[in-house]
Amino acid sequence: MATSTWRLPLLRRTLLHLSFPPPPFFQLSPFSAPLNQPKFKHSLVQCSSISIEEETTSSKYIHSEIPKTTRKLSWKPMCLYHTQGKCTKMDDPLHLEKFCHNCSVELGESVSELNSLQAQEFDYFLVLDLEGKVEILEFPVLLFDAKTMDVVDVFHRFVRPTKMSETRIKEYIEGKYGAFGVDRVWHDTAITFEEVIEQFEEWLRKERDGRINLWREDGDGHLNEAAFVTCGNWDLKTKVPQQCEVSGMKLPPYFMEWINLKDIYLNFYHRRAPGMLSMMKELRIPPLGSHHLGIDDSKNIARVMQRLLRDGALLQITARRVPDSPNTVRFFFQNRIK
Ligand SMILES: [Zn+2]
């Protein structure tokens, strides 16, 4: 039996001891206020810890004894300056104690647990989960090695809308990110979508250990031995093209195909789960972080992807735009979540 343990902020301790299995996702948020506690902001989150076990192979949580194989994982909210390469407090012990600066903490997979892993068509997966209904507000990408399931790199940017008044942006961000206590970091760091794409392309070009070339920039412009993984078709079928239009940009060719994890899930387990939370619930993977904070959702989607891979699923392209008619999308599974 494979299990993992993670830690939650001190203020969660009572809540979780009172109600186990874990309460609904939003109550696990590191940024939303627990019962009978004043609302606390991102910068004030305490990071003392408790342990919870995650059972990965049967249908109920266990909490009577901790198996020897339990892996200790330390959980605390991510430093959202660090994920964007903008943290200036790496020499401040208090800051390092409060915030996580390693995106792979809750995504570590032991190679010994990968017995069922299938040979994959891709060497790398890029888990993407956009935020923003009117314009894109957050663009997080986690890069995974398909063989080891290690997080190789992270690209995360907050995105500033360009066709919205400053007053509207302020209201919008306060409503969405204020609820997580991260509106300040959003305002401190957000850049336009055009700038995000420029930086993302720099990131794609980056040499990692001198061996990864993620982008066939001089060829057809598609990703090289890599594929985007999303939860649903919305991110790449709808939102990115819409944003490109708003920003007056051509749709970059690497956005032309993707793997919709919901379709992989449906065709591998033969069960319908219409969203990230329902997949997690069925797989008994307790969600971590704040739902609808893109970087946290990406990590949770990645944990579902890791489970699918570990259970032996083949992650194939599920949707692709027709080259001569980019507005047309072809879907490759007959059974799909619509
Ligand atoms: Zn930091």
DSSP codes joined into one string, 187-251: HHH-B-HHHHHHHHHHHHH--STTT---B-TTTTSSBSSEEEEESSSIIIIIIHHHHHHHTT-PP
82: CA distance to ligand 1 center in Å?
Answer: 5
Cβ-based neighbours of 169, under 8 Å, separated by 6 or more: 160, 161
Q: E-assigned strands of 57-128?
A: 71-72, 124-128
Q: Is the separation of the CB atoms in 237 and 230 below 8 Å? A: no
The label of the residue with tokens 């957050």 reads 138
Which pTM value belongs to this model?
0.79
**Of the given ranges (60-74, 81-95, 125-139, 239-253), which has the lowest mean pLDDT?**
60-74
Q: List, for residues 280-299, the tens digit of each pLDDT value.
A: 999 999 999 999 999 999 99
Task: Record the tokens describing residue 237, joined without a space.
Answer: 């079928």
- Of 53, 131, 138, 257, which one is the catalytic site residue? 131
The residues that bridge with 322 in the sheet, in sequence order, are 325
Q: List, for residues 178-189, the tens digit of each pLDDT value.
A: 999 999 999 999
The residues that bridge with 153 in the sheet, in sequence order, are 143
101: CA distance to ligand 1 center in Å?
Answer: 6
Asked about 166 being catalytic, the answer comes back as no
62: CA distance to ligand 1 center in Å?
Answer: 34
Could you tell me whether strands 319-322 and 325-331 are parallel, antiparallel, or unpaired per DSSP bridges?
antiparallel
What mean pLDDT do residues 325-329 have?
92
